[in-house]
Amino acid sequence: MKRILALDGGGIRGVFSLEVLLRMQELLREHYASKNLVLADCFDFVAGTSTGAIIATGLSWGMPVEDILDLYVEHGKTMFQHTPWYRPFKRLLISRFEAKPLSDMLQRIFSEDGMGREPALLGTKRLRTLLLVVVRNHSTGSAWPLTNNPNAMFNDKSRPDSNLNVPLWKIVRASTAAPVYFDPEEILLGDTPYVFVDGGVTPYNNPALIAALTAVMPCYRVGWEPGPDKIRLISVGTMRFPSARLPKKTRGLWLGYNAANIPPALIQGISWEQDYLCRALGSCIFGEALDLEVGDLIGDLIGAPQPGRNWFSYIRYNKSFKPKLGEELRLPHSDLAKLDAVHMIPFLREIGKAYAEENVKIEHLV
């Protein structure tokens, strides 16, 4: 069976995902009696968007989960380093955080020499799995799910603009370049410069479906045989929060309110739809209920198989915070949903560990 691991975007909430991944690694090490096993030993294809791109690339690189988690715990404040006060125009109108500390860290890690002097390219042999990183080409206005698949149309090394010749760290940095939070990343393809921003502002903040389609659709030239007994897709989220935070009166829906609340509402809604489509096109083994009407779509529905292609079997790990009907949402902490709440790391670890202990099972993984 081929195995795909897909990791959502969500800023510092990637710590929740990492606790889930840590439990997966622990169970697989016990199962195979291998204390040095890493997830790259067990997955054929890893996909990620935004913070998920950092994690996915680290896993494909062969890093143990605990090392990636340490990057967030030890360097979270560095990753979210505020633009200096003496650059007020940039701070207020362009980006809240400095891109250089994150760029320096990625450039050092994803290099052939381990020092950042010789950047690894997307086509590097250091990657141990098929890798997919989602970015948005702001210059063309299109989503770019980039892979290291040598057979992909735009990965032909004879092309002067081959994607395989792009430094890996730049692709990962581009996927994390959330508008307002970080500067865009400029990448030269052949002789043409393009501006890239966060893959979270494409339909693939949850990259599970595009990863599965990349594996089975002929146009992507990976060519895996579809079937729930042939492909296992495991998708890990960064927690789900209802986007309905309405003011008391409709006149409170002014421009500032909408500017702050519509983008996250759209990202949440599209991520939910990607999860829904994975359950419709695959055979769902585990996942929380999508809503009261749809349910979780696990197994058969009222005695009949799900309609659709059943291209893969599917697991979705994610935790939702839902208000009771007619009540306001009450979070354990008001900053929990924020992308940049670095001070929430210990709490995110606690939530992720508890969720993983309860829900991640070895039978989901092997």
pLDDT of residue 155: 97
pLDDT of residue 362: 98
From the list 188, 54, 70, the residue with the least C-alpha distance to 134 is: 54
Full pLDDT tens readout for the chain, 366 residues:
999 999 999 999 999 999 999 999 999 999 999 999 999 999 999 999 999 999 999 999 999 999 999 999 998 888 888 877 565 554 445 677 888 999 999 999 999 998 889 999 999 999 999 999 999 999 999 999 999 999 999 999 899 999 999 999 999 999 999 888 899 999 999 999 999 999 999 999 999 999 999 999 999 999 999 999 999 999 999 999 876 554 555 665 656 656 666 777 778 888 999 999 999 999 999 999 998 888 999 975 545 556 667 899 999 999 998 766 656 667 777 788 888 999 999 999 999 999 999 999 999 999
* Cα–Cα separations (whole angstroms), residue 297 to 233, 262, 315: 15, 28, 11
CA atoms of 52 and 108, how far apart (whole Å): 18
pLDDT of residue 219: 97
Which residue type, as a one-letter code, is found at position 22? L
Which residue type, as a one-letter code, is found at position 77? K
Question: Which token pair is 145?
Answer: 């799910």
**DSSP H helices in 133-292:** 168-175, 208-216, 255-281
Instruction: Determine if residue 308 is left, alpha or beta; phi over 0 gives left, psi from -120 to 50 gives alpha, anything else beta.
Output: left
Burial class of 96 by CB neighbour count within 10 A (0 to 12, 13 to 18, 19+) = middle
pLDDT of residue 324: 67
Question: Which token pair is 261?
Answer: 């609340």
From the list 303, 304, 298, 301, the residue with the least C-alpha distance to 283 is: 298
pLDDT of residue 250: 60
Do the beta carbons of residue 125 and residue 62 sit within 8 Å?
A: no
pLDDT of residue 105: 95
pLDDT of residue 12: 95
**What is the model's pTM?**
0.92
CA atoms of 6 and 318, how far apart (whole Å): 12
Do the beta carbons of residue 164 and residue 133 sit within 8 Å?
A: no
From the list 195, 233, 235, the residue with the least C-alpha distance to 215 is: 233
Computed over its alpha carbons, how large is the radius of gyration of the chain? 20
pLDDT of residue 306: 64
Which residue type, as a one-letter code, is found at position 188? L
From the list 359, 347, 241, the residue with the least C-alpha distance to 298 is: 359
Contacts for 254 with CB less than 8 Å, ≥ 6 apart: none
pLDDT of residue 289: 93
